[in-house]
Structures are given as C-alpha cells and as structure tokens.
A and B are shown apart, each in its own frame.
Chain A
Amino acid sequence: MSTRSGGIIFPKILLIYIITRGITAGVYFAYCAIFNETGGFEHVFGRWDTEHYMDIVNNGYHLPNRADGMANWAFFPLFPICCRGVMAITGGALSAFWCGMIVSNICLIISSYFAVKLIRERGLTQKERGFVFSGLAGDGLLLAWFLMLAPLTVYFCVPYTESLFVMLIVLFFYAAQKEMFPLAGIFAMLAGATRSVGLVLVIPLIMAMYTSYKNETGSGNIFKYIGSIFARPSRLLSILLVPAGLFGYMLYLYYFLGDMLAFVHVQYAWRHEKFLPVVGVFKKYLFSLEEPHYMISAWICIAVFALYVWMFVKGLRKEAVFGAVALLIPLSSHMMSTPRFISGSFVVWMGLYYAIKCMKSGAAQMISVTALYAGGIITIGMWCAQAGFVM
C-alpha cells in the first residue's frame, strides 16, 4: 500500500487547479470573442440550476413563482447552506453567485487532494507506466487532472452541487478505506443532504465493513457479520447516520409544505412523461435521432455501465456498485442530465484513471487522455454556448 506525505500532493494540486482554471478562462474568453457574448462571467457561468441555488441562498425555500411549477425545494439544502455560510463570513460583501463559486472551487481542490490520496492508499498508483503519467500527472495526480479538466467536470467549478457532492463522496471512500467508519457515515449523511443519491453510499459502507470483518475474523459468514454490526455500536451508528441528512430535509419539507416527499413530487414540473424504469427510458432514447443529446446520453450510460462492470471485476467493487446504483436511480425516470450525474458520482473518474493505467499501449493511453482533455474543453465551450447536453 502506497502512502505519501500530504505535503507533496497539495502544491501540485494547486498548480493543476491554476492551469486548468486558466484553460477554462481561455475557453470562456474565446467563446465571448467569437460569438460576441457580452452578458459577462456571471451570466455565462450562473445559469440553469445555479439560478435555483442562488434563489435558495437569497430567499430560502418558497412556493414557485412560475407557471411550470419548478420549485426550488427540488434542490437539496447543504450546498445553499454552505453558500450562506460564506456569505455570512464575508459579511454579505459577495453575491450568492460568488459565494457559490468559492464553495464549489474549494470543494474541487479538496476533492482532488483526497482523491489522489485515496487511490494511493488503495495501491492503484503502483507501477504507473507511460508518458501520460510523467511530470505533474504522475503518482495518481492524473486523477486530479480528470477532476479538473475531463468532460463534464465544468460543473465542479460553477455554483452547482456537484463539487460539494464529489468532495463528500471522495471523503467517504477515503474514510472507509481507513476504516474510520463513523466518519464515513458522517460524510455519507452530508452527501445525502446534498443530493438524495447520497443515500446510496450506505451500500459501499456495508461492503467496506464486511471486508474489514473478513480481515479481522477470517470468516465471510454473512449472518455472523450482521451480528457483528449490532455488537459494535460504532459500526451500527455509522450505518444509521447515512440517511439522517435526507430525513432531516424530509422533516423540513413536512413542516414547510405538508409533504415529506415534496422533493420527489416536484419532479413532475420538470418532466411529465412516464417510462418503465430504466428499460423504458433506454427504449425511448437509445435510437432517438429526434433528440440526439438524449441519444448520446443513453450510449454514454451504456459505456459507463460497462466500465463499472470492469471496475467490479478488477476489484474496485464498492466504487462500481455505488456508481451503478447511483446511475440507475435517475434512469428510473428519465435520461435528462445523466452525463452530469455520472460525472458527479466521482467513481467514473477513478475507474477511467485505473483503466488507462492498465492499458499496455502507451499510444492508447495518450489517445485516451488526449480525448478526455479535448472532451473537457469542448464541454466547457458547450456550457458557454448553453448546449442542452450539458444542462
């Protein structure tokens, strides 16, 4: 198992952050120059869900003031709470948008730092071979590059929940790897207060505890393992903490609206179509030439499921199961935003790092990494251009 001093990683993470923000700014300025965009930085980077989050920060949760019924209680509270915290610390000097930018970018840096530490702890960075791992991309740092420049990671630096969510997922897996299960439970609880899918982290938590139990006792007996959880209250508490964030929001919604499941029922405002879960959604969009962005999303989902199967076979089982279940949940109703959800689950980047590391051909590695960076730059441009695919 590889362990390194944190002090060696952090300056490199900061340097990667500065370089990738420079690239993002370059794409933004190029877009503004080519397409005569004069709306300004906040106009370009503060769109779509950002508007809802900024509304919550400024006005709290409230009944919708629009005929389509898209209410802001569809969006979970932890990210706006963090933005409010920054607003309070700065004495209200910064707008909700800039508070959101600060929260997202700090979370991005923390995510990258602990993501690199995680894969080093897991031993995934051993025997890195190939030019793509040289210099500032070596010893796991390639994963930081992916979090900051791969396709659809533009969400991690704008006021969206993805950055906070990814940070909490990374911290969860890191704590679970260190067998600090109560801390992992706390991070999962906070993830559940950021997005409902955070609840799925209970599955890898139980898997991590099972691995720990097998290592301690030499026994893989499931019933004895379950008994051991009840016999060790810290582990039982770790599991019970996971849904606490979600239930806290449900209690708030009950008192605010009289409906603890308002965050589910409000989805009707975004989509009226009903499909058979997963199968019906794929059937509708897999060959849907009239909605090409959903068709592309469907094929991306298929490719990602294949990656998760590979990750499971290669031993990244907790991550694969979490990624697959976290993707199946939105696919139970629609294809909308699934690429964003995939990117925001973090584990796909961990899987791609490991897949590229396992490639025997240096050329294949170069092509893969170059394609990822090119895709990242393209999706930044697509964001600037309000392309529906990146919504």
Chain B
Amino acid sequence: MPLTATTDVTPPVEGAYRPFGLTRCTTTEPESGYDVSGIDYEPGSQMSVRDGRPLIDQPILGTAVQCTVTTTEDMQAWTDQVTDS
C-alpha cells in the first residue's frame, strides 16, 4: 500500500511501545529486573536451587519468570510472577 499524505508514520512515543494504529496504549511499569541472585542450577536434580535447597520449595515472592520467545513460537511475552502459596 503506497504511502499517502495522510498516512501516519509517527514513530512510537519514546520509551513506550504504542501500536501503529492507536494514539495510545496500555502502559506498564518499567521492568526493574528479576532478583535471580543466588539461584543456581543443580545438574544432579536438574532443578534450580538457592542456598542449596530447591527453589520451588522456598518463598519466591517478587521473583518473576520471564517468558521468552521460544525456538518456534510463543504467544506473547509476559512476566510470570510466582507468589507464595
């Protein structure tokens, strides 16, 4: 489709991802990163550990697991906040 004088090619607002065809979008808080300090992989159990204990047996409030784009396809990336049971 050829560009016309009325075609909007305004780049997204800096620092925020805005859909091409909208004047705004739902924004989120900037990611502060995930606290993965002290988390290791234990080859014997083939699971993650922290302080020598399985990560999944410990309170991990605030630790988010990021879905990444897989080798084939992923639906959408969102942070997976795991909370205390």
The judgment on whether A and B are partners is no
